[in-house]
């Protein structure tokens, strides 16, 4: 299953990863806005979300008045993001695009480029990560910045078979048991995402999506962002729900 296939299949269920997706949209946007203003000032207006998924960050930032352009590898997720934006009357420009081709795809610069929710570790080599970061750099205006959020892989055991529970979600009369299974092979791990759909009958329906991730450390990401041209690259452990790494495109 390709990364695109994984997210195409995940799109209808993605919101169930969060206990309350709408609350997460607003909470994340508030945290991101605080970082954006602190790092790059109050005049930031344009944001490129280079891995928008179903719109978690793009929707929240647009609701706060930012001019948001968003793209993602998955056409099904982009279609859902468009639907969610329309339902909220938010004017976001969505398109399908690979983050490794971000500048080739968008052909312009933005005040800030973001890629959140552990999206960049789908790139399984340092070379692929550097390619994406070089594209992010090209998409960022001088004086603007890049912001990515990732899992803290230094806090994870890089071995064996692991179960990561997300909990139970309820929609109407349906319960969903949500969890992941990880299996490590060095710094690469196979991930299976499970949504067990329980309608109260004797049997349940299980939806499974499979992909791979690179359990890349913050130090490597910082180094690669610096190689791409960003300066003042730092890891921030607050106020977001996972570590954020930021870097600034230097003024000419």
Tens digit of each residue's pLDDT (9 = 90 or more) over 159-199: 999 999 999 999 999 999 999 999 999 999 999 999 999 99
Give the pairing type, strands 93-96 and 205-214: unpaired
Identify the pLDDT of residue 109. Answer: 99
Q: How confident is the model at residue 252 (pLDDT cuts 50, 70, 90)?
A: confident
Q: How confident is the model at residue 238 (pLDDT cuts 50, 70, 90)?
A: confident
> Could you give the CA distance from residue 34 to residue 27 in angstroms, rounded to a whole number?
11
The overall average pLDDT reported for the chain is: 98
> Could you give the CA distance from residue 101 to residue 133 in angstroms, rounded to a whole number?
10
> Residues 3-26: what's their mean pLDDT?
98
Identify the pLDDT of residue 143. Answer: 98
Q: Cβ atoms within 10 A of the Cβ of 94, count?
A: 23
The arrangement of strands across the sheet holding 161-171 comes to 161-171, 174-185, 188-198, 205-214
Q: How confident is the model at residue 51 (pLDDT cuts 50, 70, 90)?
A: very high
> Residues 116-145: what's their mean pLDDT?
99
Identify the pLDDT of residue 9. Answer: 98
Q: What are the backbone dihedrals phi and psi of residue 78, each rounded to the nearest 5 degrees, phi first?
A: -60, -40
> Could you give the CA distance from residue 11 to residue 3 in angstroms, rounded to a whole number?
12
Q: How confident is the model at residue 148 (pLDDT cuts 50, 70, 90)?
A: very high
Q: How confident is the model at residue 62 (pLDDT cuts 50, 70, 90)?
A: very high
Q: What are the backbone dihedrals phi and psi of residue 234, each rounded to the nearest 5 degrees, phi first?
A: -145, 155
Q: Is residue 137 within 8 Å of residue 170, measured between CB atoms? A: no
| SS3 state of residue 167 | strand
Identify the pLDDT of residue 241. Answer: 86
Identify the pLDDT of residue 220. Answer: 98
| SS3 state of residue 104 | helix
Domains of the chain as residue ranges with CATH: 3-152+215-248 (3.40.50.150), 154-214 (2.20.130)
> Could you give the CA distance from residue 149 to residue 208 in angstroms, rounded to a whole number?
24
> Could you give the CA distance from residue 104 to residue 107 in angstroms, rounded to a whole number?
6
Identify the pLDDT of residue 126. Answer: 99
Taking every pair of Cα atoms in the chain, the longest distance, rounded to a whole number of angstroms, is 66
Q: Is residue 229 within 8 Å of residue 132, measured between CB atoms? A: no
Q: How confident is the model at residue 240 (pLDDT cuts 50, 70, 90)?
A: confident
> Residues 148-165: what's their mean pLDDT?
96
How do residues 67-112 score in pLDDT, each as one tens digit?
999 999 999 999 999 999 999 999 999 999 999 999 999 999 999 9
Identify the pLDDT of residue 14. Answer: 98
> Could you give the CA distance from residue 55 to residue 34 in angstroms, rounded to a whole number?
19
Q: What are the backbone dihedrals phi and psi of residue 116, each rounded to the nearest 5 degrees, phi first?
A: -110, -175
């Amino acid at each position: 299953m390709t990364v695109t296939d994984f997210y195409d299949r995940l799109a209808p269920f993605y919101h169930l990863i969060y206990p309350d997706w709408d609350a997460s949209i607003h909470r994340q946007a508030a945290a991101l806005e605080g970082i954006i203003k602190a790092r790059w000032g109050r005049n930031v207006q344009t944001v490129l979300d280079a891995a928008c998924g179903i719109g978690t960050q793009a929707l929240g930032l647009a609701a706060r008045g930012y001019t948001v352009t968003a793209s993602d590898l998955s056409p099904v997720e982009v279609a859902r993001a468009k639907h969610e934006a329309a339902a909220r009357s938010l004017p976001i420009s969505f398109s399908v695009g690979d983050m490794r081709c971000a500048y080739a795809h968008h052909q312009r610069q933005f005040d800030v480029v973001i890629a959140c929710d552990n999206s960049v570790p789908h790139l399984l080599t340092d070379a692929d990560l550097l390619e994406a970061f070089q594209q992010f750099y090209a998409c960022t205006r001088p004086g603007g910045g890049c912001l990515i959020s990732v899992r803290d892989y230094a806090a994870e055991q890089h071995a064996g078979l692991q179960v990561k529970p997300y909990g139970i979600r309820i929609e109407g009369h349906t319960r969903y048991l949500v969890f992941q299974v990880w299996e490590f092979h060095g710094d690469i791990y196979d991930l299976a995402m499970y949504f067990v759909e329980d309608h109260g009958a004797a049997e349940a329906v299980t939806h499974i999506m499979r992909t791979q991730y690179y359990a890349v450390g913050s130090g490597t990401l910082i180094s690669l962002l610096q190689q791409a041209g960003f300066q003042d690259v730092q890891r921030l452990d607050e106020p977001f729900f996972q570590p954020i790494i930021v870097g600034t495109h230097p003024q000419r």
